[in-house]
């Protein structure tokens, strides 16, 4: 008959079985090994850190408005009468009043002149072959443009001008040696423009006023 295991053998077998059942190596002593990191923890660690918010974009300054001329095409010159005819009746009358005043002045001539694609065709006025002023239609509004040298500017009664004339003086461009004014002919602007042109004519030729 086979011998039954001794108490020593039984103890050794019991230790081996307990080690196998617990999943641990009975030969390894000391503290247990750290468990490996889970997959979710690894993903969180691998994610890039969030970037700081980018500064807000600065809006670009608005471009200055470019007026649209009534007659922009060089190969299509209008007649002098076409300018007033394009405007509403009341504005057309003011335009014709300024035009009639200019043509009554001694030595003043009128022609239709092309000032380029941005300004288009306009009525140009010369006094003794020297530039006097011009009449335009921009954005469907009649405009009188005149340049003033210091002597002519000194002859203008600026305080007597209407809001249209005051606005033109405030927005004048150029230099003190040659000041450029764009006068809207609506409202009191037509009268203001005649007064300014009269001062220029007086500075150029005191005896040339009509």
DSSP per-residue letters across the chain: -PPPPPHHHHHHHHHHHHHHHHTS-TT--SSPPPPPPPHHHHHHHHSPPPPPPPPPPPPPPPPPPPPPBS---TTSPPPHHHHHHHS-HHHHHHHHHHHHHHHHSTTEEEEEEE--TTT-EEEEEEETTEEEEEEEEETTEEEEEEEE-HHHHHT--GGGS-HHHHHHHHT-EEETTEEEEEEE-TTTHHHHHHHHHHHHHHHH-TT---
> Mean pLDDT over residues 73-97, rounded?
95
- Please list, in sequence order, all residues whose beta carbon lies within 8 angstroms of the beta carbon of residue 117, skipping any fewer than 6 positions away: 72, 74
Cβ neighbourhood burial of 5 (10 Å; 0-12, 13-18, 19+): exposed
CA 129 – CA 120 distance, rounded (Å): 22
- Per-residue pLDDT band for 170 (boundaries 50, 70, 90) equals very high
Q: Are 149 and 196 in contact (CB under 8 A)?
A: no
Residue 57 has pLDDT above 80, yes or no: no
CA 155 – CA 198 distance, rounded (Å): 9
- For 20-56, write each residue's pLDDT tens digit: 444 444 444 444 455 555 555 555 555 556 666 666 6
Dmax (CA) of the chain = 158
- Per-residue pLDDT band for 205 (boundaries 50, 70, 90) equals confident
Which of these CATH numbers, 1.10.3470, 3.30.1370, 2.60.120, 3.90.1150, describes 80-204? Answer: 3.90.1150
CA R_g for the chain: 47
Residue 114 has pLDDT above 60, yes or no: yes
Domain borders along the chain are 80-204
CA 74 – CA 138 distance, rounded (Å): 16
pLDDT, residue 4, reads: 46
pTM summary value: 0.69
């Amino acid at each position: 008959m086979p011998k039954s295991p001794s108490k020593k053998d039984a103890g050794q077998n019991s230790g081996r079985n307990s080690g196998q059942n617990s999943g641990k190596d009975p030969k390894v002593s000391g503290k247990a090994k750290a468990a490996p990191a889970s997959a979710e923890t690894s993903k969180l660690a691998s994610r890039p850190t969030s970037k700081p918010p980018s500064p807000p974009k600065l809006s670009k300054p608005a471009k200055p408005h470019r007026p649209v001329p009534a007659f922009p095409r060089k190969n299509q010159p209008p007649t002098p009468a076409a300018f007033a005819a394009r405007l509403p009746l009341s504005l057309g009358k003011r335009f014709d009043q300024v035009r009639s005043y200019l043509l009554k002045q001694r030595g003043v001539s009128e022609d239709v002149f092309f000032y380029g694609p941005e300004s288009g065709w306009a009525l140009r006025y010369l006094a003794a072959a020297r530039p006097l002023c011009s009449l335009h239609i921009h954005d469907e509004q009649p405009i009188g443009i005149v340049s003033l040298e210091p002597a002519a500017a000194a002859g203008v009664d600026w305080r007597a001008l209407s809001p249209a004339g005051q606005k033109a003086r405030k927005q004048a461009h150029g230099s003190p040696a040659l000041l450029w004014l764009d006068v809207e002919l609506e409202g009191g602007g037509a009268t203001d423009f005649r007064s300014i042109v009269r001062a220029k004519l007086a500075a150029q030729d005191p005896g040339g006023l009509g």
